[in-house]
Structure 1
Amino acid sequence: MISYVSGKLVFKDPTYVIIDVGGLGYHVKISLQTYSKIKDEEQIRLLTFLHIKEDAHTLYGFKQEEEKRLFLLLIGINGVGPNTGLMILSSLSTEEIEHAILSGDVATIQHVKGIGAKTAQRIILELKDKVGKSGTDTTSSLGFLKSNTKIREEALQALITLGFQKAAAEKNIALVLKKTEGEISLEDLIKASLKTP
């Protein structure tokens, strides 16, 4: 088991990073939560979870212990795989997920792409006694003009990587930008697009 990866941040995308550790480049999948906390660090340390399947060994990375803990709880539920767990953590903050679980808010969890009513109910039922009420919410201070086409393109690529069809992703991004006044960060744009029905 690889507990963490520490090294030089070579590449950063809203869905994954590449970390150089002694000349080896580790491809680590991340959530938007982790992406927003990385900022522009040169040296990085991510807590990791290695998921092994017949055809792939995938590393998932987390900036904070609380996010990793919640990820492990989520993937322990029947019907929630690592990619779905990452989708949940990209769509909602750790605090929002915990609040939804503790208050029995099925609708909030069900808004995540790929989560149906039964899975949302199972998440709440199985995790109600396991999640804590601790943690602080950190919001990104990075703001970008919503007309910035680079942000639009990066958001589109991230949504496609997360499993959206290109047309649906473009539509969601356009809807979010239409509703947004002023500036919006890349993380907020992706997060809002994930929640758009």
Structure 2
Amino acid sequence: MIAYIKGILTYIQDESIIVDIQGVGYEIMCASPFVFQDALNKEIKVNTYHHVREDLQVLYGFKNEDEKYLFTKLISVSGIGPKGALGVMASVDVAEFVAAVEREDEKFLTSFPGVGKKTARQIILDLKGKLTSMLSLSSQEAFHPSGSEAIGEGLQEAKEALKTLGYTEREIKAVMSKLQTETDSNTDEIIRKALGLLMKN
């Protein structure tokens, strides 16, 4: 299996990045390819999961081991494939997702595309208690189930509000990644800060 790819980031596309290794371009599917924007034309190391089927081989890429681990656990859940797992990871960070699973927040989990109540219950059944021990120290420091519910809901509501204002999924992801550590759970405040970031772009 290919555990990671190290080379020059040459292209960033809507769903993938291309990493050049000695003249060979490896296409790596990512939840949010544009998080690698700062590394364009530079050498990077991308943690990868090598997905193999009889008729298909795909490399999925992640910024760190936590994201990769979460991806592998998600695709182990009945009803969730690689594309579904990427869809979940495109709009949530690891600690936020783990917090939702630990508090059995079905409403939060069903907010992701393709995740219905049955799948949300399956995620909780299969993954509760199995994710927190694998988080890195930095993620564990950010993982506070008692407070993350309000923060998570505030971020989610802000995302939906920005969509109704006409911003694209890519634009929203770009600013939300900068607001993941936002401690103010007030949705209006998060929206105001997000709009400020969007106007700068």
- Aligned pairs for 1:98-109 (under 5 A) are 98-109=98-109
Amino acid corresponding to residue 184 of structure 1 in structure 2: L
Equivalenced residue count is 151
- Go from structure 1 to structure 2 and tell me whether the alpha carbon gap of 1:75 and 1:154 turns closer, same or farther (over 3 Å shift): closer
TM superposition shift of 1:40? 1.7
5+ residue gaps, structure 2: 143-161, 174-190
* CA root-mean-square deviation: 2.8
- Go from structure 1 to structure 2 and tell me whether the alpha carbon gap of 1:91 and 1:154 turns closer, same or farther (over 3 Å shift): closer
Q: 2-side partners of 1:154 and 1:93: how far apart?
A: 15
- Aligned pairs for 1:22-41 (under 5 A) are 22-32=22-32, 35-36=34-35, 38-41=36-39
Q: 2-side partners of 1:65 and 1:116: how far apart?
A: 27
Q: 2-side partners of 1:121 and 1:58: how far apart?
A: 28
Moved over 4 A (4+): none
- Post-superposition Cα deviations, 1:42-64, rounded to whole Å, max 9, x if no partner, equal 11111111111233211100110
- Aligned pairs for 1:37-52 (under 5 A) are 38-41=36-39, 42-52=42-52
- Go from structure 1 to structure 2 and tell me whether the alpha carbon gap of 1:63 and 1:103 turns closer, same or farther (over 3 Å shift): same
- Percent identical: 33
Q: 1-side partners of 2:123 and 2:17: how far apart?
A: 28
1:14–1:31 contact (8 Å) kept in structure 2: no
- Aligned pairs for 1:59-74 (under 5 A) are 59-74=59-74
Q: Could you state the TM-score of these two structures normalised by the residue count of structure 1?
A: 0.68
- Post-superposition Cα deviations, 1:129-186, rounded to whole Å, max 9, x if no partner, equal 201174066xxxxxxxx9xxxxx68939x9xxxxxxxxxxxxxxxxxx9xx633329x
Q: Could you state the TM-score of these two structures normalised by the residue count of structure 2?
A: 0.67
Amino acid corresponding to residue 114 of structure 1 in structure 2: G
